[in-house]
Amino acid sequence: MREDFLVFGRPQIEEDEIAEVVATLRSGWIGTGPKTTAFEEAFRTLIGAKYAISVGSCTAALHLSMLVSGIKPGDEVITTPMTFCATANAITHVGAKPIFVDINPKTLNIDPDQIECAITDKTRAIIPVHFAGRPCDMQKLTALAKKHNLMLIEDAAHAIESDTPQGKIGTIGDLTCFSFYVTKNITTAEGGMITTNNAEWAEKLKIYALHGLSHDAWKRYSDSGFKHYEVQFPGFKYNMTDLQASLGLHQIKRVDKNLKRRESIWRRYDEAFQNLPIKIPAPTSANTIHARHLYTILIDVKETKLERDAFQHELFKRNIGTGIHYTSVHLQPYYRDVLNYQPGQFPAAEYISDRTLSLPLGPSMNDQDVEDVIEAVHDIFKTRASVNSVQVEIET
Protein backbone atom coordinates (compact mmCIF):
# COMPACT_ATOMS: atom_id res chain seq x y z
CA MET A 1 0.00 0.00 0.00
CA ARG A 2 1.26 3.48 -0.87
CA GLU A 3 2.40 5.60 2.09
CA ASP A 4 0.86 8.95 1.12
CA PHE A 5 -2.73 9.60 0.10
CA LEU A 6 -3.35 9.98 -3.65
CA VAL A 7 -5.68 12.96 -3.86
CA PHE A 8 -8.45 12.58 -6.42
CA GLY A 9 -8.39 15.36 -9.01
CA ARG A 10 -5.06 16.77 -7.87
CA PRO A 11 -4.20 19.66 -10.23
CA GLN A 12 -0.96 19.94 -12.14
CA ILE A 13 0.58 23.28 -11.15
CA GLU A 14 4.04 23.95 -12.58
CA GLU A 15 6.62 26.67 -12.08
CA ASP A 16 5.32 28.74 -15.01
CA GLU A 17 1.94 29.20 -13.31
CA ILE A 18 3.56 30.01 -9.97
CA ALA A 19 5.84 32.62 -11.56
CA GLU A 20 2.91 34.17 -13.44
CA VAL A 21 0.82 34.45 -10.27
CA VAL A 22 3.73 36.04 -8.40
CA ALA A 23 4.26 38.51 -11.26
CA THR A 24 0.56 39.39 -11.15
CA LEU A 25 0.72 39.98 -7.41
CA ARG A 26 3.73 42.22 -7.81
CA SER A 27 2.11 44.16 -10.64
CA GLY A 28 -0.61 45.43 -8.31
CA TRP A 29 -3.23 44.47 -10.91
CA ILE A 30 -4.82 41.39 -9.38
CA GLY A 31 -8.47 41.87 -10.37
CA THR A 32 -9.98 41.69 -13.84
CA GLY A 33 -7.48 43.10 -16.30
CA PRO A 34 -5.15 42.41 -19.22
CA LYS A 35 -4.33 38.81 -18.28
CA THR A 36 -8.02 37.95 -18.13
CA THR A 37 -8.42 39.38 -21.62
CA ALA A 38 -5.39 37.42 -22.83
CA PHE A 39 -6.76 34.20 -21.38
CA GLU A 40 -10.13 34.77 -23.05
CA GLU A 41 -8.40 35.22 -26.40
CA ALA A 42 -6.23 32.13 -25.91
CA PHE A 43 -9.28 30.04 -25.04
CA ARG A 44 -11.33 31.46 -27.90
CA THR A 45 -8.53 30.46 -30.27
CA LEU A 46 -8.27 26.97 -28.74
CA ILE A 47 -11.99 26.33 -29.17
CA GLY A 48 -12.45 28.15 -32.47
CA ALA A 49 -15.48 30.21 -31.39
CA LYS A 50 -15.99 33.86 -32.28
CA TYR A 51 -16.36 34.97 -28.67
CA ALA A 52 -15.18 33.72 -25.27
CA ILE A 53 -16.36 35.41 -22.09
CA SER A 54 -14.66 34.53 -18.81
CA VAL A 55 -16.63 34.24 -15.57
CA GLY A 56 -16.08 33.12 -11.99
CA SER A 57 -17.33 29.55 -12.44
CA CYS A 58 -19.12 27.21 -14.81
CA THR A 59 -22.19 27.66 -12.62
CA ALA A 60 -22.06 31.39 -13.37
CA ALA A 61 -21.64 30.54 -17.06
CA LEU A 62 -24.76 28.37 -17.03
CA HIS A 63 -26.79 30.97 -15.12
CA LEU A 64 -25.84 33.79 -17.49
CA SER A 65 -26.54 31.58 -20.49
CA MET A 66 -30.06 31.03 -19.18
CA LEU A 67 -30.54 34.78 -18.84
CA VAL A 68 -29.25 35.87 -22.26
CA SER A 69 -31.34 33.11 -23.84
CA GLY A 70 -34.45 34.78 -22.48
CA ILE A 71 -35.47 31.76 -20.42
CA LYS A 72 -37.96 32.91 -17.81
CA PRO A 73 -40.26 31.64 -15.04
CA GLY A 74 -42.65 28.99 -16.28
CA ASP A 75 -40.38 27.81 -19.08
CA GLU A 76 -39.01 24.29 -19.28
CA VAL A 77 -35.44 23.24 -20.07
CA ILE A 78 -34.54 19.65 -20.93
CA THR A 79 -31.35 18.21 -19.48
CA THR A 80 -29.84 15.01 -18.08
CA PRO A 81 -30.16 13.83 -14.48
CA MET A 82 -26.63 12.38 -14.67
CA THR A 83 -24.80 15.63 -13.95
CA PHE A 84 -23.64 17.88 -11.15
CA CYS A 85 -26.47 19.81 -9.51
CA ALA A 86 -25.24 23.13 -10.99
CA THR A 87 -26.78 22.24 -14.34
CA ALA A 88 -30.27 21.93 -12.87
CA ASN A 89 -29.69 24.73 -10.36
CA ALA A 90 -28.97 27.24 -13.13
CA ILE A 91 -32.32 26.41 -14.73
CA THR A 92 -34.05 26.80 -11.39
CA HIS A 93 -32.32 30.13 -10.67
CA VAL A 94 -34.19 31.79 -13.56
CA GLY A 95 -37.51 30.33 -12.46
CA ALA A 96 -37.67 27.65 -15.14
CA LYS A 97 -38.20 23.94 -14.55
CA PRO A 98 -35.57 21.31 -15.36
CA ILE A 99 -37.10 18.45 -17.31
CA PHE A 100 -34.92 15.38 -17.04
CA VAL A 101 -34.48 12.85 -19.83
CA ASP A 102 -32.76 9.53 -19.16
CA ILE A 103 -29.29 8.64 -20.38
CA ASN A 104 -27.80 6.11 -22.74
CA PRO A 105 -26.24 3.64 -20.25
CA LYS A 106 -23.22 3.06 -22.50
CA THR A 107 -22.24 6.68 -23.11
CA LEU A 108 -23.70 8.09 -19.85
CA ASN A 109 -24.90 11.05 -21.95
CA ILE A 110 -28.49 12.18 -22.45
CA ASP A 111 -30.35 9.85 -24.82
CA PRO A 112 -31.42 12.03 -27.78
CA ASP A 113 -33.97 9.45 -28.87
CA GLN A 114 -35.97 10.10 -25.68
CA ILE A 115 -35.90 13.90 -25.84
CA GLU A 116 -38.72 14.51 -28.30
CA CYS A 117 -41.27 12.88 -26.00
CA ALA A 118 -40.32 15.41 -23.28
CA ILE A 119 -40.81 18.51 -25.45
CA THR A 120 -43.90 20.60 -24.69
CA ASP A 121 -45.12 24.04 -25.66
CA LYS A 122 -43.20 25.33 -22.61
CA THR A 123 -39.83 23.90 -23.68
CA ARG A 124 -37.29 26.59 -24.53
CA ALA A 125 -33.90 24.86 -24.48
CA ILE A 126 -31.91 21.65 -24.29
CA ILE A 127 -28.80 21.43 -22.12
CA PRO A 128 -26.72 18.37 -22.99
CA VAL A 129 -23.86 17.49 -20.65
CA HIS A 130 -20.76 15.93 -22.19
CA PHE A 131 -20.26 13.47 -19.36
CA ALA A 132 -16.64 12.68 -18.44
CA GLY A 133 -15.53 14.40 -21.66
CA ARG A 134 -17.35 12.08 -24.06
CA PRO A 135 -19.18 14.32 -26.56
CA CYS A 136 -22.94 13.89 -26.88
CA ASP A 137 -24.58 13.00 -30.20
CA MET A 138 -24.54 16.57 -31.49
CA GLN A 139 -25.95 15.64 -34.90
CA LYS A 140 -29.21 14.47 -33.34
CA LEU A 141 -29.28 17.24 -30.74
CA THR A 142 -28.81 20.05 -33.25
CA ALA A 143 -31.49 18.54 -35.47
CA LEU A 144 -33.92 18.39 -32.54
CA ALA A 145 -33.16 21.96 -31.50
CA LYS A 146 -33.67 23.23 -35.03
CA LYS A 147 -36.87 21.24 -35.56
CA HIS A 148 -38.49 22.59 -32.39
CA ASN A 149 -36.86 26.05 -32.42
CA LEU A 150 -35.05 25.43 -29.13
CA MET A 151 -31.86 26.91 -27.73
CA LEU A 152 -28.95 24.48 -27.44
CA ILE A 153 -26.84 25.35 -24.40
CA GLU A 154 -24.00 22.91 -23.77
CA ASP A 155 -22.62 22.04 -20.35
CA ALA A 156 -19.03 21.33 -21.36
CA ALA A 157 -17.52 21.38 -17.87
CA HIS A 158 -15.77 18.07 -18.71
CA ALA A 159 -15.20 18.70 -22.39
CA ILE A 160 -12.49 21.27 -23.11
CA GLU A 161 -10.75 19.01 -25.64
CA SER A 162 -13.83 17.22 -26.97
CA ASP A 163 -14.46 17.19 -30.71
CA THR A 164 -17.12 15.76 -33.03
CA PRO A 165 -17.78 15.44 -36.78
CA GLN A 166 -20.12 18.45 -36.39
CA GLY A 167 -17.30 20.58 -34.98
CA LYS A 168 -15.38 21.12 -31.78
CA ILE A 169 -17.40 21.36 -28.59
CA GLY A 170 -17.82 25.06 -27.97
CA THR A 171 -18.63 25.90 -31.59
CA ILE A 172 -21.82 23.88 -32.18
CA GLY A 173 -24.44 24.98 -29.67
CA ASP A 174 -25.80 28.49 -29.23
CA LEU A 175 -23.84 28.87 -25.99
CA THR A 176 -21.30 26.53 -24.39
CA CYS A 177 -20.21 26.60 -20.75
CA PHE A 178 -16.79 25.40 -19.58
CA SER A 179 -15.31 24.87 -16.12
CA PHE A 180 -11.84 25.64 -14.76
CA TYR A 181 -12.51 24.24 -11.30
CA VAL A 182 -9.54 22.74 -9.48
CA THR A 183 -10.17 19.19 -10.77
CA LYS A 184 -10.76 20.13 -14.42
CA ASN A 185 -8.48 19.60 -17.42
CA ILE A 186 -7.58 23.30 -17.31
CA THR A 187 -7.76 24.90 -13.89
CA THR A 188 -7.81 28.47 -12.65
CA ALA A 189 -8.74 27.18 -9.15
CA GLU A 190 -12.25 28.54 -9.74
CA GLY A 191 -13.49 29.91 -13.03
CA GLY A 192 -15.47 29.34 -16.18
CA MET A 193 -15.92 30.43 -19.77
CA ILE A 194 -18.82 30.87 -22.18
CA THR A 195 -18.26 30.54 -25.91
CA THR A 196 -20.68 31.69 -28.57
CA ASN A 197 -20.75 32.91 -32.15
CA ASN A 198 -23.45 35.50 -31.38
CA ALA A 199 -22.12 39.04 -30.92
CA GLU A 200 -25.26 40.32 -29.18
CA TRP A 201 -25.15 37.55 -26.57
CA ALA A 202 -21.43 38.06 -26.05
CA GLU A 203 -22.01 41.74 -25.29
CA LYS A 204 -24.85 40.94 -22.89
CA LEU A 205 -22.78 38.29 -21.12
CA LYS A 206 -20.04 40.85 -20.45
CA ILE A 207 -22.58 43.27 -19.02
CA TYR A 208 -24.49 40.72 -16.95
CA ALA A 209 -21.27 39.31 -15.47
CA LEU A 210 -20.22 42.69 -14.03
CA HIS A 211 -23.17 44.10 -12.11
CA GLY A 212 -25.07 44.92 -15.30
CA LEU A 213 -22.78 47.84 -15.99
CA SER A 214 -22.39 49.18 -19.53
CA HIS A 215 -19.44 47.92 -21.52
CA ASP A 216 -17.44 51.09 -20.77
CA ALA A 217 -17.21 49.86 -17.18
CA TRP A 218 -14.54 47.42 -18.31
CA LYS A 219 -12.33 50.34 -19.27
CA ARG A 220 -11.91 51.01 -15.57
CA TYR A 221 -9.63 47.98 -15.67
CA SER A 222 -7.25 49.44 -18.22
CA ASP A 223 -4.82 52.34 -18.45
CA SER A 224 -6.97 54.14 -21.05
CA GLY A 225 -8.47 56.42 -18.42
CA PHE A 226 -11.66 56.56 -16.39
CA LYS A 227 -14.93 56.08 -18.23
CA HIS A 228 -18.42 56.70 -16.88
CA TYR A 229 -20.78 53.74 -16.99
CA GLU A 230 -24.47 53.06 -16.69
CA VAL A 231 -26.36 50.24 -14.98
CA GLN A 232 -28.24 48.52 -17.80
CA PHE A 233 -29.31 45.35 -15.97
CA PRO A 234 -29.40 44.14 -12.34
CA GLY A 235 -26.37 41.98 -12.96
CA PHE A 236 -24.01 39.80 -10.97
CA LYS A 237 -20.45 39.70 -9.66
CA TYR A 238 -19.33 36.89 -11.92
CA ASN A 239 -16.10 38.24 -13.43
CA MET A 240 -12.79 36.36 -13.54
CA THR A 241 -9.62 37.90 -12.08
CA ASP A 242 -6.07 38.20 -13.40
CA LEU A 243 -4.90 35.92 -10.58
CA GLN A 244 -7.10 33.16 -11.96
CA ALA A 245 -6.15 33.93 -15.54
CA SER A 246 -2.46 33.74 -14.60
CA LEU A 247 -2.94 30.02 -14.01
CA GLY A 248 -5.03 29.52 -17.12
CA LEU A 249 -2.56 31.20 -19.47
CA HIS A 250 -0.05 28.42 -18.83
CA GLN A 251 -2.49 25.58 -18.30
CA ILE A 252 -3.86 26.16 -21.78
CA LYS A 253 -0.41 25.70 -23.33
CA ARG A 254 -0.28 22.10 -22.08
CA VAL A 255 -3.73 21.01 -23.26
CA ASP A 256 -2.53 18.65 -25.99
CA LYS A 257 0.33 17.25 -23.94
CA ASN A 258 -1.92 16.62 -20.94
CA LEU A 259 -4.60 14.96 -23.03
CA LYS A 260 -2.01 12.51 -24.34
CA ARG A 261 -0.97 11.73 -20.78
CA ARG A 262 -4.57 11.10 -19.70
CA GLU A 263 -5.08 8.89 -22.78
CA SER A 264 -2.02 6.88 -21.77
CA ILE A 265 -3.32 6.36 -18.22
CA TRP A 266 -6.76 5.49 -19.63
CA ARG A 267 -5.27 2.75 -21.84
CA ARG A 268 -3.30 1.36 -18.90
CA TYR A 269 -6.46 1.20 -16.79
CA ASP A 270 -8.40 -0.49 -19.58
CA GLU A 271 -5.67 -3.09 -19.94
CA ALA A 272 -5.35 -3.69 -16.19
CA PHE A 273 -9.07 -3.97 -15.45
CA GLN A 274 -10.40 -5.83 -18.48
CA ASN A 275 -10.56 -9.20 -16.71
CA LEU A 276 -12.00 -7.94 -13.43
CA PRO A 277 -15.72 -8.13 -12.58
CA ILE A 278 -16.21 -4.39 -13.04
CA LYS A 279 -17.49 -2.39 -15.99
CA ILE A 280 -14.99 0.01 -17.55
CA PRO A 281 -15.84 2.98 -19.83
CA ALA A 282 -17.14 2.13 -23.29
CA PRO A 283 -14.86 2.78 -26.29
CA THR A 284 -14.97 6.23 -27.86
CA SER A 285 -17.19 6.74 -30.90
CA ALA A 286 -15.49 7.00 -34.28
CA ASN A 287 -14.43 10.45 -35.47
CA THR A 288 -14.74 12.01 -32.02
CA ILE A 289 -12.24 13.17 -29.42
CA HIS A 290 -12.97 12.25 -25.80
CA ALA A 291 -11.55 14.79 -23.33
CA ARG A 292 -10.78 11.98 -20.85
CA HIS A 293 -11.81 14.04 -17.84
CA LEU A 294 -13.15 11.16 -15.73
CA TYR A 295 -12.37 7.45 -15.75
CA THR A 296 -15.56 5.94 -14.33
CA ILE A 297 -15.92 2.27 -13.47
CA LEU A 298 -19.16 0.58 -12.43
CA ILE A 299 -19.23 -1.52 -9.27
CA ASP A 300 -22.19 -3.90 -9.46
CA VAL A 301 -22.69 -5.77 -6.18
CA LYS A 302 -23.91 -8.91 -7.98
CA GLU A 303 -20.63 -9.15 -9.84
CA THR A 304 -18.12 -7.76 -7.36
CA LYS A 305 -19.70 -9.06 -4.11
CA LEU A 306 -19.09 -5.53 -2.79
CA GLU A 307 -21.32 -2.49 -2.87
CA ARG A 308 -19.94 0.65 -4.52
CA ASP A 309 -19.58 2.62 -1.27
CA ALA A 310 -17.81 -0.31 0.38
CA PHE A 311 -15.48 -0.58 -2.60
CA GLN A 312 -14.75 3.15 -2.37
CA HIS A 313 -13.99 2.78 1.33
CA GLU A 314 -11.56 -0.06 0.63
CA LEU A 315 -9.71 2.17 -1.84
CA PHE A 316 -9.62 4.95 0.76
CA LYS A 317 -8.06 2.54 3.26
CA ARG A 318 -5.38 1.88 0.65
CA ASN A 319 -4.71 5.65 0.31
CA ILE A 320 -6.47 6.03 -3.04
CA GLY A 321 -8.84 8.97 -3.42
CA THR A 322 -11.89 8.58 -5.65
CA GLY A 323 -14.99 10.49 -6.72
CA ILE A 324 -18.64 9.68 -7.36
CA HIS A 325 -20.03 11.26 -10.53
CA TYR A 326 -22.89 11.54 -9.81
CA THR A 327 -25.85 10.86 -7.61
CA SER A 328 -28.61 11.39 -10.15
CA VAL A 329 -29.99 14.91 -9.66
CA HIS A 330 -33.64 13.83 -9.56
CA LEU A 331 -32.85 11.83 -6.42
CA GLN A 332 -31.48 14.87 -4.58
CA PRO A 333 -33.85 16.11 -1.85
CA TYR A 334 -34.78 19.44 -3.47
CA TYR A 335 -35.61 18.02 -6.89
CA ARG A 336 -37.24 14.97 -5.38
CA ASP A 337 -39.38 16.81 -2.83
CA VAL A 338 -40.07 20.22 -4.39
CA LEU A 339 -40.35 19.22 -8.05
CA ASN A 340 -41.82 15.82 -7.24
CA TYR A 341 -39.31 13.66 -9.08
CA GLN A 342 -39.38 10.06 -7.89
CA PRO A 343 -37.07 7.03 -7.85
CA GLY A 344 -37.74 4.82 -10.84
CA GLN A 345 -38.38 7.62 -13.34
CA PHE A 346 -34.96 7.41 -14.99
CA PRO A 347 -33.77 3.83 -14.59
CA ALA A 348 -30.57 4.10 -16.62
CA ALA A 349 -29.39 7.15 -14.68
CA GLU A 350 -30.29 5.49 -11.39
CA TYR A 351 -28.41 2.31 -12.34
CA ILE A 352 -25.26 4.33 -13.01
CA SER A 353 -25.81 6.56 -9.98
CA ASP A 354 -25.79 3.53 -7.65
CA ARG A 355 -22.65 1.98 -9.16
CA THR A 356 -20.37 4.69 -10.57
CA LEU A 357 -16.91 5.34 -9.12
CA SER A 358 -14.28 7.64 -10.62
CA LEU A 359 -10.63 6.65 -10.29
CA PRO A 360 -7.75 9.15 -10.21
CA LEU A 361 -6.86 10.40 -13.70
CA GLY A 362 -4.65 13.34 -14.54
CA PRO A 363 -1.27 14.55 -15.78
CA SER A 364 -0.07 15.21 -12.22
CA MET A 365 0.04 11.42 -11.73
CA ASN A 366 3.32 9.62 -12.31
CA ASP A 367 3.61 6.01 -13.44
CA GLN A 368 3.88 4.76 -9.87
CA ASP A 369 0.66 6.56 -8.93
CA VAL A 370 -1.11 4.77 -11.76
CA GLU A 371 0.26 1.39 -10.73
CA ASP A 372 -0.74 2.07 -7.12
CA VAL A 373 -4.35 2.57 -8.23
CA ILE A 374 -4.27 -0.62 -10.27
CA GLU A 375 -2.68 -2.61 -7.44
CA ALA A 376 -5.25 -1.33 -4.95
CA VAL A 377 -8.19 -2.32 -7.15
CA HIS A 378 -6.76 -5.78 -7.74
CA ASP A 379 -5.95 -6.20 -4.06
CA ILE A 380 -9.56 -5.55 -3.08
CA PHE A 381 -10.67 -8.48 -5.20
CA LYS A 382 -7.94 -10.69 -3.78
CA THR A 383 -8.89 -9.93 -0.18
CA ARG A 384 -12.62 -9.23 -0.36
CA ALA A 385 -13.57 -12.59 1.16
CA SER A 386 -11.83 -11.54 4.38
CA VAL A 387 -13.24 -8.01 4.44
CA ASN A 388 -16.09 -8.82 6.80
CA SER A 389 -17.06 -5.22 7.40
CA VAL A 390 -17.92 -4.64 3.77
CA GLN A 391 -19.34 -8.01 2.76
CA VAL A 392 -22.94 -8.01 1.64
CA GLU A 393 -25.42 -10.76 0.99
CA ILE A 394 -26.02 -11.19 -2.72
CA GLU A 395 -29.54 -11.76 -3.93
CA THR A 396 -29.99 -14.84 -6.08
List, by residue number, the catalytic residues: 184
**Which residues make beta-bridge pairs with 78?**
99, 126
Q: What angle do CA 70, 115, 181 make, to 5 degrees?
A: 60
For the chain, how many residues are written?
396
User: How many CA atoms lie within 13 Å of 228's alpha carbon, on the beta-carbon side?
Assistant: 1
How many whole angstroms separate alpha carbon 99 and alpha carbon 181? 26
Sign of the CA dihedral running 294, 308, 275, 7: positive
How many whole angstroms separate alpha carbon 81 and alpha carbon 63? 17
How many whole angstroms separate alpha carbon 384 and alpha carbon 387? 5
How many whole angstroms separate alpha carbon 142 and alpha carbon 87? 19
Sorted by sequence, the CB contacts under 8 Å of residue 203 that are 6+ apart come out as: 215
Sorted by sequence, the CB contacts under 8 Å of residue 192 that are 6+ apart come out as: 54, 55, 56, 57, 58, 59, 60, 61, 177, 178, 179, 180, 240
Q: Are strands 163-164 and 151-155 parallel, antiparallel or unpaired?
A: unpaired
Sign of the CA dihedral running 211, 215, 216, 218: positive
Of 112, 141, 169, 188, nearest to 290 by C-alpha is 169
Structural contact between residues 301 and 272, judged by C-beta atoms closer than 8 angstroms: no
Structural contact between residues 36 and 242, judged by C-beta atoms closer than 8 angstroms: yes
Structural contact between residues 90 and 59, judged by C-beta atoms closer than 8 angstroms: yes
